[in-house]
Amino acid sequence: MLEIEGLVKVYPGGVAALSGVSLSIPRGMFGLLGPNGSGKTTLLRILAGLLAPTAGRVVKDGVDVTKEPERLWPRLGYLPQDFGFYPGLTGRAMLRHLLALKGVSSRVGLSALVDELLERVNLGFAKDRRVETYSGGMRQRLGIAQAIAGDPDLVIVDEPTVGLDPEERLRFYRLLAELAEDRTVVLSTHLVEDVAMLCPRFAVIRFGRLLAETSPTEARASIAGRIFEGFVSKAALDALSATGRVTQAHLVEGRNVVRLFVPEGPPPEGLAPASPSLEDAYMVLMGAERRDTV
Ligand code: ADP
Ligand code: MG
């Protein structure tokens, strides 16, 4: 169990990135979902013992991570949001360098460990290729390889699915799900799909505050019977959007389809009951103010 107690972070200059966040994170995969600027990276860096909070603390297995981060690090794997590589190195040389920096050693020798980790993340076929030739998904897998070296029991990954194409994303989901089978994995994302695919539990944050701590099933159940869907005219869509309760709006064969949260009473004419999606639940939490205009 990872306990987060009353975390506050005010950056120099006065930006309040976290305004009192408390959470209990169980074993397995845990999602931290929120829009850009909501405080996800700040929270993860504090969890990893890399940034001191203004107030509050993080406790893992009885250790106060905020006071003694060096006791956490040997059992921690961290994939930062802006993980950098040397593009001219091969995957193998890059990973070897990262492991040396991290101080990882191995009974079988560093080279054997590097090869084993590369196989584990399905990069064995590309280990002698330069990192600059890797796709986004391959780079993220290399990032995971360094994060899991030393067999950490806590792995923190910050928006790892950004920029991956759908196929790469699926492959990466499988790797993360496998990692979470026997350890704690904390994953931040602004994509509801990541949470739906991976997380039995998740927290939603915005403006540095916790809006919910729930499961996908609970989140959908909380709005059961209150989501309605149907075709509408552009004018009707604009009118509905102004209510702030549109959870999704998209085009199907040139016509506007809207999904609407109706907190009580009957829906507007022409809309029929729909089963709630996690996206609906997230948008209701966010105040349903964003609209997909694809
Ligand atoms: P997220 O990862 O959810 O996008 P961040 O934790 O990066 O959110 O940022 C939260 C808020 O803190 C934002 O308003 C951001 O501009 C601000 N912020 C982040 N890092 C710093 C920093 N080093 N100095 C000042 N403000 C920062
Ligand atoms: Mg971030």
CA of 273 to the centre of ligand 2 (A): 36
Residue finishing a domain among 168, 201, 219 = 219
Beta bridge partners of 233: none
| The ligand 1 atom nearest the CA atom of 9 | 12
Question: Are residues 165 and 235 both part of a single domain?
Answer: no
Domain that holds residue 13: 2-219
| The ligand 1 atom nearest the CA atom of 35 | 3
- Which residue's structure tokens are 């107030």? 55
Q: Candidates 7, 10, 15: which one to mutate for ligand 1, based on the most atoms within 8 Å of Cβ?
A: 15
Question: Are residues 120 and 244 both part of a single domain?
Answer: no
Question: Are residues 213 and 280 both part of a single domain?
Answer: no
Walking along the chain (294 residues) 10 residues at a time, the average pLDDT comes out as 96 96 97 97 97 97 94 92 90 94 86 94 96 93 93 95 88 93 96 96 96 97 97 94 92 95 93 97 79 41
CA of 161 to the centre of ligand 2 (A): 12
- pLDDT for res 106: 84
Nearest residue (CA) to ligand 1, atom 18: 17
Question: Are residues 84 and 26 both part of a single domain?
Answer: yes
- pLDDT for res 101: 87
CA of 37 to the centre of ligand 1 (A): 6
Residue finishing a domain among 185, 219, 253 = 219
- pLDDT for res 280: 96
| The ligand 1 atom nearest the CA atom of 34 | 3
- Give dist(CA 37, CA 26) in Å, integer: 25
Q: Is 39 in the pocket of ligand 1 (CB under 6 A)?
A: yes
Say which CATH number the domain at 9 has.
Answer: 3.40.50.300
Question: Are residues 163 and 234 both part of a single domain?
Answer: no
In sequence order, what are the residues at sequence separation of 6 or more whose Cβ sits closer than 8 angstroms to the Cβ of residue 154? 2, 60, 72, 75, 76, 77, 183, 184, 185, 186
Question: Are residues 102 and 200 both part of a single domain?
Answer: yes
Question: Are residues 208 and 226 both part of a single domain?
Answer: no
- pLDDT for res 12: 95
Ligand whose nearest atom lies closest to the CA of 40: 1
Chain centroid to CA 18: how far?
17
Q: Is 42 in the pocket of ligand 1 (CB under 6 A)?
A: yes
| The ligand 1 atom nearest the CA atom of 43 | 6
- pLDDT for res 84: 85
Q: Is 100 in the pocket of ligand 1 (CB under 6 A)?
A: no
Q: Candidates 8, 9, 11: which one to mutate for ligand 1, based on the most atoms within 8 Å of Cβ?
A: 11
| The ligand 1 atom nearest the CA atom of 81 | 2
Nearest residue (CA) to ligand 1, atom 23: 11
Domain count, the chain: 2
